[in-house]
Each structure stands twice: as C-alpha cells, then as structure tokens.
Structure 1
C-alpha cells in the first residue's frame, strides 16, 4: 500500500516550483513594474544571468565562457545528484509487496539528474539557484540522517 512517507521527497520540489518560476520570469522580462530590469545587466564570468545554454546555442551567441559556466553549473548539479544517490539511497525491501523492487529504486535514483537537465534550459540565475538548492538539500539530509539515524527493520537486525 502506498504511504505518504514515500512521497515526502517531493514536497521540497513542489514548494520550490513557484520560486523557480518567479526567478525564471525575472530573467525573461526586460521591464518589471514599469522599470528597466537591472538584473539582466549582471553577469557571471561574462555570461549574463538572463541567458540560458539553449538560448545561446539557438541565438548563435554561444561563447567559450558561456560553455564553461553552464558546463560547470550543470556538472556540479549532476555531481551533487550522484552523491545524493549514492549516500542516501534507500535499502531495497525484501518484501513481496514492493512493486518493481530494485529496478524501481534504480529508476527513481536517476530522477535526481533531471535537475541538471533542467539547468540547460533555464536562465543562468535559475541554474545557480538550482545548484545552491540541491547542495543545501544534500547537506541538510546528511545532517538530519546523522542526528536521526534510521532504525533497521526487523528483517535487517
């Protein structure tokens, strides 16, 4: 039977979705509330915060610094996802009631890399936000796991 605790990991994503949407919108509009959007004038190593890798490729404005910055952000997000997958992977259940078992866990572990894929499409500012968020979430989960360790089930003891 499905339990709410199985979906607990989705709550942070659902809560952050509006924030990412607002950040995304902030870097798409040149005018906000009748004023020039000064956020679009800021850059990281010469790459505007409002540009995305896909828009740079499509617009023909891709530079070596843009490839480097987007590459580093995307690779760091993927690295944090891999560390999260390895360190916080749930143990497979020996119970027959677990549909899919080990194969399901493998696919769920790959879902974390979706954030790295999303970073290619969103403005650099949103990609940086995603990087900070996944790193913060990993650190928080490791601290909480150390402070409140999971108890082994009766079958594992």
Structure 2
C-alpha cells in the first residue's frame, strides 16, 4: 500500500521525466531510478510480498508431493481436512478421476474464499488511475488479485490453505496500515 502511495505521489514527476527524455531511453531509466533513490522508494516494493511467498509455497508444494521425506514415509500425506487428504490438488484429482464430492466441496470452497478475499482487497484498495502513470494497466492489476485462486487449483490442499491464510493476513495488514497511515 505504501508503495502504491509513493508511485501515485511520484507520478507527476515521472511524467515530467518521460516528456523530457522521450527519445533517450537510457537517460530516462537512469533519471527514473535516481528519482526513486532520492525519494527512498523502491520501484520493486510492491513485488516484495510475492517474492517472499513464492519459495514458501514452493516448499509446501514439494512437501506434499513426495511420498517420503528423509527416508521416512511422508505422514503429512495421510492427514485430511474434512476427509480430503492435504496432499490432494483439484487438478490432479480431476485428471485421475478421484475427485469426489468432498474434494470438490473443500477445494472449491477454498478457491472461492481466496477469490472472495481477492475481490474484497481489489475493491477496498482500488488504485485511482493517474494520467500518464507508467506501469501495469489497472485492469491487469485487478486480475492479479485472482491469480492466487487459480494457483490454488494446481497446488496441494495444504498449500491452498496457506494461500488463503496469506491473502487474508495481507488484507488485514493493509486495513490496519491504511488506518494507521491514512
């Protein structure tokens, strides 16, 4: 959220740089980075949460796809949530024909919950368009909120639960930060 505020605050100065150095790409990049540096703003700050979470989800995924860990049977694969094994992914269950009603309900509800939190986040923290602001189109930013729900279809149930906890925590964190910092 703070990264979004900083980008919006710097947008007029970035537009000015783009106008001034329109034909000089390298100079524009250098001046843009200097502006970010002088304002103590990282152009990659909004990517940090995703970069931190990616290895955690990867580790969870790998723990739940290996039948043995350190030479022992993977006991985690025998654990269930409402009779659905934590190592089950919806895509795998559907492709192997093992997706029963419980699998559809549990993983379906998980995916819907992640999408709901994504929609709440998208609506609550909508970025107002700033004319000339460089970056990703706002429609694409809105769609990114739902990528986590799509990922939950492919990963084991345990990783999906982690993703739900993460998006919910992030929403709560952003609400608190908005109240504290305005």
TM-score over 0.5 for the pair: yes
In 2: Cα distance, 1:114 partner to 1:124 partner? 16
**Is 1:140 the counterpart of 2:177 in the alignment?**
no
In 2: Cα distance, 1:7 partner to 1:85 partner? 20
Deviations 1:94-130 (A, max 9, x none): x4x3248xx9112211111000000000000000000
**Is 1:130 the counterpart of 2:167 in the alignment?**
no
Q: What's the counterpart of residue 150 of structure 2?
A: 117
Q: Structure 2: which 5+ runs fail to align?
A: 1-13, 15-31
Task: Check 1:146–1:6 CA distance in 2 against 1; reply closer, same or farther (3 A cut).
Answer: farther
Aligned residues: 145
Q: What's the counterpart of residue 95 of structure 2?
A: 58
In 2: Cα distance, 1:142 partner to 1:11 partner? 18
In 2: Cα distance, 1:53 partner to 1:78 partner? 16
Deviations 1:48-77 (A, max 9, x none): 000100000011101000000011000000
Alignment of 1:41-80 (within 5 A): 41-80=78-117
Q: Structure 1: which 5+ runs fail to align?
A: 150-157
Higher relative helix content: 2
Task: Check 1:147–1:98 CA distance in 2 against 1; reply closer, same or farther (3 A cut).
Answer: same
Structure ID, larger Rg? 2
State the shift of 1:38 in Å: 0.4
In 1: Cα distance, 2:50 partner to 2:139 partner? 20
State the shift of 1:6 in Å: 4.9
